[in-house]
Amino acid sequence: MSFLVAATSFLLSASGQPVDDFFAEFVAKREHIQSLSATFRQEIVTPDETSVSGGRIVFVKPKQLLFEYLDPKIVYAIDGRRVFNYEANLEQVQVYDVEDSAQADALFIAFDDSAARLREAYDVSLSDAEPGECGQRILTLAPKNSDIADDALSQPYKEIRLYLRQEDLLPCRIQAISDDDTSVVVDIDHYAINEIGSNASIQFHVPEGTKIVVNEASVETAGPGGKDLPEPTVSEIPKPAAK
């Protein structure tokens, strides 16, 4: 009997809902989302200080994600397997190509509807949010392997908590915990999902003179008029109207 009790405890989350059932609901509520944008407020707490910043988020299927901080302007963008890090104060963009891995796919879990590879990279648990907390359920992720060879995917957090809204299981809060004294809390609001006529895009603009460093090797400098990144693929370039 003790084995059955232990097995049941493993399969059930702290919310009482089996984790597999939760992810089936997760997919059903999110599969209609093709794009979204939102605003965010971020608070970083360390033993020495607390810093606050904010900006906007854009997600576009299948694998595009943008975090744009407004003051100072810092951009993190992911386009498939390519990661962009732009810091306006440094007048530089760092571009990295990352490996196809569960860790890379897990970066999209906050907004995507696919969870299979997430469970390859993280131990997952589910609990009910306390009264007064943002969201109704909390999805907790603990990295199975924090030693990732790819620096762009290295995992500095021992635990990540997604506070999920009931209606679409999108996060209203993301809490990333490094240790007992250090954490990052991102509160997300003002979602716009699949807006009609919306031009959801993760592209960002860098001014003339910005250095673009790709995989720590090739270097390009943005010319007159600046440059939009990521550059569109051939399939994304609008075709001229037929005459």
Give the mean pLDDT per block of 10 residues along the chain (243 residues). 33 59 90 94 95 95 92 93 95 89 69 79 90 91 66 67 94 92 95 78 95 92 96 54 45
* Coil vs helix vs strand at 134: coil
DSSP of 188-215, one letter per residue?
Answer: EEEEEES-TT------EEE-TT-EEEET
All domains of the chain in start order, with CATH: 14-225 (2.50.20.10)
φ/ψ bin of 179: left (φ > 0), alpha (ψ from -120 to 50), beta (otherwise): beta
Q: Give the residue among 192, 156, 186 at the shortest CA–CA distance from 171.
A: 186
Residues 226, 243: Cα–Cα separation, whole Å:
32
Q: Are 223 and 202 in contact (CB under 8 A)?
A: no
Rounded alpha-carbon distances, angstroms, from residue 20 to 25, 92, 124, 136, 210: 9, 43, 11, 18, 47
Amino acid in position 51: S
Residues 79, 100: Cα–Cα separation, whole Å:
12
pLDDT at 12: 38
Residues 139, 135: Cα–Cα separation, whole Å:
11
Q: Give the residue among 114, 103, 116 at the shortest CA–CA distance from 169.
A: 114
